[in-house]
Amino acid sequence: MGGSIRLGSVFGVPLRMHWSVPLLVVLFAYGLGRRTLPVGAPGHSPAVYAVAGVAGAALLMGSLVLHETAHAATARRKQISVEDVTLWALGGMTRMGRPKTAAAAFLVAVSGPLTSLVIGGVALGAGLGLHALARWAAVPAVVLLWLGWANLFLGVFNLLPAVPLDGGRVVQALLWWRTGDRERADLAASRGGQVTGVLMAGAGWVLLLRGAPIGLWIVFIGLFVMVVAGAERRHAALHTALRGIRVADAMTSPVTTGADWLTVQHFIDEVAVHSHHSAVPLLDFEGRPSGIVQIRRLAGVPAPSRETLRVREVAVPISQCAVAAPDEQLTEALDRVSLRTGMRILVADGGHLVGIVTGKDLARMMQRHTLRGGAQG
Ligand SMILES: [Zn+2]
C-alpha cells in the first residue's frame, strides 16, 4: 500500500505500517485514557490514565497483528505465497496468492477472526480475574476488559458476510465448495459484498448522526467494502466470460516488435511510430523476447539522453512481464499480470514471441461473450 513503512517481519512475512496507524493509536489511547478508564477505575492521576491508554492502544495494535499473522501462517501452511501484512486505519490486511482449494480458502479466512475471538475471551477472563483479585489492579483490569471487548468486536465484525471482510471470504469458500464453481462463487460473494457495503455505510451514518464516533469508521469500512467488492465482481465477471478461451484465441498476431539494443531516438523513429499499441515488445540479439517498453516511457526520456540511452534501459524486463504459452488458458495467464506492465501478456512459443494480449483484446472477447448471450456481471 502507498504511504506505508516496513516495521520488521513476523514469521518471515514483512510487516508494514501505513501512516494512518499512529493516528488510530492516538484515537484509541484518547478514548481509553480519557473516557473509559476514569469511569471504570476512578481516583487515579491523569498521567496513570494516559500511560494505561497508550499501553491499551498498543496492545490492540498487537492483537491486530496477531489476527493478520493467523491468516498469513495458515496461508503458508496451505502452500499459498504471502507477500506482506499491512496495518492501516481500517485494521489489518494480508496480501497473498489465491488459495488452491475451497477448504484452504475457508481455513485462511476463519483463522483471523477466530484468533481475535480467542484473544478477546482470554483478555476478558484475565480482566475479570484481576478485577476480583485486588483493588490496586483496577486500572490494568479495565485495560484488559477494554481490550477483550475490542477483540470480540473485531472478531464478530470481521465475520460479517461481505467480501473482502473475512466473513465474505468464508461465504465465498462455502459457495465454492457447494457448487464446485469458483467463478460463480466469486461473483455471488462479491455481489453480496457490494450490497452489504452500502448497508454498512448507511448504518455507520445513522450511528454518527446519533453521536457515536465509531459510526465514521463504519462508514469508511462500508465504502471500502463497496469499492473492493465492485472490483472483485468485475474481475469475477471477466473470468467467467473468458472461461475456456485459450491465449492464442485472444491474442493479436503478428505484433510490432523492436530491437532492444537500439537507442531511444532510433527506436522512436524506426519502431514506435509504426506501432498500434501503447507498448512495444522488445527482442534481444538472438530474437528472443527481452521485455516491453511503454510509449509514454520513451516520451519521458529527455531529448539529450535519447541518443545515448538504449531502449532496454527504459523498458520493463521480461522477468517482470506476464508471459504465456499460446495453448494456456487465458484466465490463468491473467492472474500473472502485474501492475508494472499493465494489462499486457506476451505470448511466446518455443522462445519466440508470437503475439500479445492487451486490454483491447480482452474487451473484444468480452463483447463476443455478451453477443453469444453470456451472463453479464
Ligand atoms: Zn482478517
Query: Looking at the predicted structure, is the pLDDT value of residue 38 above 60?
Result: yes
Q: Percent of the chain beyond pLDDT 90? A: 46
Torsion of CA 342, 343, 347, 348, to 10 degrees: 20
Alpha carbon distance 163, 193 (integer Å): 5
Q: Is position 68 annotated as part of the catalytic site?
A: yes
Alpha carbon distance 324, 244 (integer Å): 15
Question: Angle 102-133/138-158 helices, nearest 10 degrees?
Answer: 160
Alpha carbon distance 258, 298 (integer Å): 13
Distance 341 CA to ligand 1 centre (A): 30
Other C-beta atoms lying within 10 Å of the C-beta of residue 45: 8
The reported pLDDT for the residue numbered 278 is 85
**pTM, rounded to two decimals:** 0.75
The reported pLDDT for the residue numbered 18 is 87
Alpha carbon distance 142, 40 (integer Å): 6
Distance 153 CA to ligand 1 centre (A): 13
Distance 114 CA to ligand 1 centre (A): 9
Alpha carbon distance 213, 211 (integer Å): 6
Distance 334 CA to ligand 1 centre (A): 26
Q: Which residues share a beta bridge with 323?
A: 346
Q: For residue 172, give the H/E element and its range.
A: helix 166-179
C-beta separation of 289 from 348 below 8 A: yes
DSSP string, 34-78: IIIHHHHS-S--HHHHHHHHHHHHHHHHHHHHHHHHHHHHHHHHT
Distance 160 CA to ligand 1 centre (A): 11
Alpha carbon distance 96, 117 (integer Å): 23
Mean pLDDT (the chain, rounded): 88
Average pLDDT of 153-159?
A: 93
Residue 131 — very low, low, confident or very high, per pLDDT cuts 50/70/90?
A: confident
The reported pLDDT for the residue numbered 60 is 94
C-beta separation of 53 from 37 below 8 A: yes
Distance 75 CA to ligand 1 centre (A): 12
- How are strands ordered across the β-sheet holding 322-324? 322-324, 344-349, 352-358
Alpha carbon distance 311, 193 (integer Å): 44
Alpha carbon distance 22, 1 (integer Å): 16
Distance 27 CA to ligand 1 centre (A): 22
Catalytic residue chosen out of the listed positions 68, 183, 270, 313 = 68
345 CB-near residues (< 8 Å, 6+ apart)? 247, 251, 322, 323, 324, 333, 334, 336, 337, 356, 357, 358
The reported pLDDT for the residue numbered 205 is 96
The reported pLDDT for the residue numbered 87 is 87
Distance 169 CA to ligand 1 centre (A): 9
Write out pLDDT tens, residues 315-354: 988 888 888 999 998 888 887 776 667 788 899 998 899 9
The reported pLDDT for the residue numbered 377 is 43
Query: Looking at the predicted structure, is the pLDDT value of residue 148 above 50?
Result: yes
C-beta separation of 360 from 344 below 8 A: no
The reported pLDDT for the residue numbered 172 is 93
Write out pLDDT tens, residues 111-121: 999 999 999 99
The reported pLDDT for the residue numbered 339 is 66
Task: Identify which has the larger pLDDT, 1 or 68.
Answer: 68
Query: Looking at the predicted structure, is the pLDDT value of residue 375 above 60?
Result: no
Average pLDDT of 44-56?
A: 93
The reported pLDDT for the residue numbered 340 is 67
Question: Angle 102-133/46-77 helices, nearest 10 degrees?
Answer: 150
Residue 366 — very low, low, confident or very high, per pLDDT cuts 50/70/90?
A: confident
Report the DSSP pairing between strands 4-10 and 279-283.
Answer: unpaired
Average pLDDT of 259-287?
A: 88
Rg (CA), the chain: 26
The reported pLDDT for the residue numbered 1 is 56
Helix, coil or strand: residue 76: helix
C-beta separation of 112 from 70 below 8 A: yes
Distance 259 CA to ligand 1 centre (A): 47
Alpha carbon distance 85, 65 (integer Å): 8
Residue 374 — very low, low, confident or very high, per pLDDT cuts 50/70/90?
A: low
Write out pLDDT tens, residues 172-207: 999 999 999 888 899 999 999 999 999 999 999 999
Write out pLDDT tens, residues 228-250: 999 889 888 888 888 888 999 98
Query: Residue 309: phi, psi to the nearest 5?
Result: -75, 135
Residue 376 — very low, low, confident or very high, per pLDDT cuts 50/70/90?
A: very low
Work out the widest C-alpha separation in the chain, in whole angstroms. Answer: 84
Query: Looking at the predicted structure, is the pLDDT value of residue 79 above 60?
Result: yes
Amino acid at 242: L
Average pLDDT of 345-370?
A: 87
The reported pLDDT for the residue numbered 21 is 87
201 CB-near residues (< 8 Å, 6+ apart)? 218, 219, 222, 223, 226
